[in-house]
Structures are given as C-alpha cells and as structure tokens.
Amino acid sequence: MRNGGKISAAIDVLTDVLNRHQPVKSAARDWGKRARYAGSKDRAWVSGLVLDALRKRNSIAYRMDDESPRALVLGALAFAWGWDIRQIDTAMDEEHAPSKLTLSEREHLVMAPDPSAPPHVQGDYPEWMAPMMARVFGEEATVEAQAMAVRADVDLRVNTLKVDAEKASMPLKSAKAEQSRLLHNAFHIPAKDPSERETSLESIPAYSKGWVEVQDAGSQIAAAAANAQPGEQVLDYCSGGGGKTIALAAQMKGKGQIFAYDIDGKRLSALIPRLKRSGAHNVQLVHPSEPVQLETLTGQMDCVFVDAPCTGTGTWRRRPDSKWRIKQGQLEKRMAEQTDIIAKASEFVKPGGRMVYATCSFLMEEDEDRVAEFLAAHPEFTEEDAAGAAIASGLLTDEGANVVQRFRMPTGSVRLTPRRAGTDGFFFAVLRRAG
C-alpha cells in the first residue's frame, strides 16, 4: 500500500476507536478484514500510527487546534514520526489518500509546541486526573506522563525452570534482544521505529519451547518482592493470565506448592496450557466454583501474592486507548475491589507469613492509600522493606537494586515508572503478619 492509502486507513481506524469506543486491536482487525489487499507491514504501519496518535492525543489536538481523527493522525505523522510538510504533501497526493492539506492544517503542522500549555496537554493525560498526577509526582507530573506517551520496549523473562540466561541468549539474537539492565534472567527488545513491524515472538523457537516469557521488567521485579523460596506454600490470589504465577514457580525452582486462584474461572483455565509450556509442575489451580478448596488454605500460606485488579495506568505506553477510556467512577470501583481483596487475601497468610500487594497503576489511590487503609484495620500486619525483599531474591542486577532502593518510599513500598526505571508503572508493598 502507498502511504496515502495507509493514512486514510489510520483515520478510519482511529475514528472507530474514538467514536465507537473500540480498542485499537479490534478496530484494526475490522479494517484488516475489509482491506484484504493490505500486507502485514501495512497493518503494522496503520496500527503504529493510530497508537502514536492516541499516545499524544491531547498535545496533538492542542497544536492542531482540532481534535478530529484526521487532525490527530496528521499531527502524529509530524510530531511523533517527524515527517516534514513535504513528505505529508507527497503522501496526500497519492491514490486513496485523504483530501489535501488545508491552509490551516499546514500552519498548525509547522507550529512549535507551546510551553505554556496546561500539564494535562503537555503530559497527554485526561484532565480530570490532573490532581492525582500532581499528588503522586508533584512537579515532575508532566515529565513522568511524557515518558508514558512513547512506545514501550518488550521485556522477556528467562524461564529458569528450563534454561539459564546464557542458553536463552543465543536464539534471542535474531529478535535483537539485549540483556536487561535490571534483572539477571531477563532480556529486552528495544521499541521499534514507529513505522517498523513488531517482532513476532511466536516465530522465535525459544518462545514456543517455553524458554522465555513476555513479562514487563516492572512486573518481574514486583514478583521478585515475593522472594518465594523452594518448599514454601504460596497463594497467587489474583492469578489471571498467570504471569506472576509462573515467575513464582521459577523462584521456587519447582519445589513447594503454588495455589493459583482467580475469581474469573475462564482466565484461570487459560492458565493450563501456559503452565504446561513453562514446565511449572508445582501449581495447583483453585477454581472459584470450589470455594471450599480455597477456604482450606486459610492461615496456611507462607506468602500470598495479590496482583490486584486496577485501572492499569502503568501500562499506558502499551495500551494508549485505555488512557482515554478510564473514568472517575471506574477508579472508585477498582479502589473498593482492592479494599475487599487485600482484606480477604490476608486471611490466608499464616502467622509470620507475608503478603505482597501489587498493582500496575501509579495512582496513590490504588496503591499506598489501600495499603494504609488495610494496615489501619489490621494491626497484626506491618509493612516491610519491599525493595529489600526484591533484592534478597537475587534476581536483580546491581542497577536493578539501585533503582528499587531509590524509588522505595519511607513506608517501604516501591513505585516504578517508565521514566524512573524504563518499566511499566508498578507499585508493590510487602506486609508481614505477626508470628
């Protein structure tokens, strides 16, 4: 496909995302079904442009003085992809291109950014979240948010149940994977140029053999804070897709018992093939339809891991459409769920045992506020040094250890962000029950 046709397609897909509240993946899939002539590179180009337009939606709309899908796509070409006006003109002359640039569009496309634009514009986040951004990041709110408005690297965790990092590194060379700065048994694939196709990990034999798992480095570090030991009894209370479950199984070298529970039975069932692929044999699924099985674990666990449902603000780089869908009411709903879940999950911790509370959100309302509320109601629990726990796992490099110590809060919990650590936004806290 020529660029002009792809720009038209990007405008159509973005229109579906914004007007019909569709996620980018499904809007792009729908377009792909109509555009049988489009190759996989064309599809990646169109999706890449739509995602970049969404990552920088507010700042583009402000500079273009227009928030229509067309303005956002043209602005993304100029401000995210660095196209000059001649390149855009050439594309707009091609077959199937949208109508030519207007005089007003031309003027706006060459305008410099306005340093006096409000923080939610410069940082590309919803205006209603401005007080929360200021609360958590203070004067750094804009730069923190700007680091969430770019493409993310892909992180891989080496599955040490099957191979070590050295053995995994050879087949990963074709994907241009580099050793992680933060974790010993991890690699990362730097974000591609916006118009380049993403590497298909499924095509790498090391992936199908279960040697590596796709898992953000922040998620790997949060899992490390469990510091789960071989032989322990561990409950992964919000197991979902199982990313943490199999990371915990590797920490335990396959010894001891992990119970994987999730309120969503379907998600839990989807874990079965993933567990097989990873070779984690010490995981027992606890289905929500069998509450009695769960109750037998009360007061028995050395460690309970709570990867709580949250707004997912920490993953804005990967899912920029979710940034504009989140509403105040949803945040409040999540907070109420978190309050219930952390209290319920704590019942399974044995005397002297620990609970890790983690979210992929940087909002204090979902993080330390929930921990503080729990601790106030449960004096038998005290907060410990989460950075120290992650370091004690032996999984972090020296640089990883420095990062978690630097971003440890006075209470002991840790908040990582794309700007601070190059990871997704993650929060984790370790809470110990008195012996």
Of residues 120 and 188, the one with the C-beta less far from ligand SAM: 188
Buried b or exposed e, range 134-155, using 16+ CB within 10 angstroms: eebbeeebbebbbbbbbbbbbb
Q: Measured between alpha carbons, how far is 78 from 35 in angstroms, rounded to an integer?
A: 25
3-class secondary structure, 176: coil
Pick between residue 152 and residue 238 the one whose CB is nearest to ligand SAM. 238
> CB under 6 A: which stretch of 93-101, 156-164, 261-269, 406-414 binds ligand SAM?
261-269
Please report the DSSP string for 110-143 in residue order: TPPP-TTS-HHHHTTS-GGGHHHHHHHHGGGHHH
Residues 263-292 touching ligand SAM, rule: CB under 6 A, are 263-264, 267
- The 3-state DSSP class for residue 414 equals strand
Tell me the torsion sign for CA atoms 116, 118, 120, 124: negative
Total residues at interface with ligand SAM (CB under 6 A): 16
Shortest approach of ligand SAM to residue 82 CB, angstroms? 35
Binding to ligand SAM by CB under 6 A, coded x per residue (else -) over 340-359, reads -x------------------
Inter-CA distances, 60 with 65, 123, 294, 314, Å: 8, 11, 50, 22
Q: How far is the CB of 345 from ligand SAM (least distance, A)?
A: 8
Q: By the 8 A CB rule, do 36 and 104 touch? A: no
- Which residue, 262 or 383, is less far from ligand SAM as judged by CB? 262
Q: Where are the alpha helices (DSSP H) in 20-162?
A: 24-34, 40-55, 57-64, 69-75, 85-92, 103-109, 119-122, 130-137, 141-146
Set 238, 303, 310, 360: catalytic member: 360
Q: Give dist(CA 411, CA 66) in Å, integer.
A: 45
CB of 216 to ligand SAM, least distance (A): 10
Are β-strands 178-179 and 233-236 bridged in parallel, bridged antiparallel, or unpaired?
A: unpaired
Q: Which is nearer to ligand SAM, 7 or 249 (CB)?
A: 249
Compute the least distance from the CB of residue 316 to ligand SAM, in Å. Answer: 15
Report CA-CA distances (Å) from 286 to 166, 290, 380: 35, 7, 26
Q: How far is the CB of 341 from ligand SAM (least distance, A)?
A: 5
Is 262 labeled as ligand-binding?
yes
- The DSSP bridge partners found for residue 186 are 157
Stretch 319-338 residues interacting with ligand SAM (CB under 6 A):
337
Nearer to ligand SAM, 211 or 305 (CB): 305
- Catalytic status, residue 238: no
**Nearest-CB residue to ligand SAM?**
240
From the list 262, 365, 368, 424, which residue makes contact with ligand SAM (rule: CB under 6 A)?
A: 262
Nearer to ligand SAM, 258 or 389 (CB): 258
CA pseudo-torsion sign 220, 222, 223, 227? positive
- Does the footprint of ligand SAM cover residue 309 (CB under 6 A)? yes
Rounded Cα gap, residues 36 and 77, in angstroms: 24
9 or 154: CB nearest ligand SAM: 154
What is the CB-side half-sphere exposure of residue 384 using CA atoms within 13 A?
21
Looking at residues 221 to 250 of the shown chain, list those that interact with ligand SAM (rule: CB under 6 A): 237-244
- d(CA 288, CA 295) in angstroms, rounded, equals 11
Plot region of 326 (φ>0 → left; ψ -120 to 50 → alpha; else → beta) = beta
Q: Are strands 349-359 and 381-384 parallel, antiparallel or unpaired?
A: unpaired
Active site amino acids: 360
Please report, in range form, the residues annotated as the binding site for S-adenosyl-L-methionine. Answer: 262, 307
Q: Which residues bind ligand SAM (CB under 6 A)?
A: 237-244, 262-264, 267, 307, 309, 337, 341
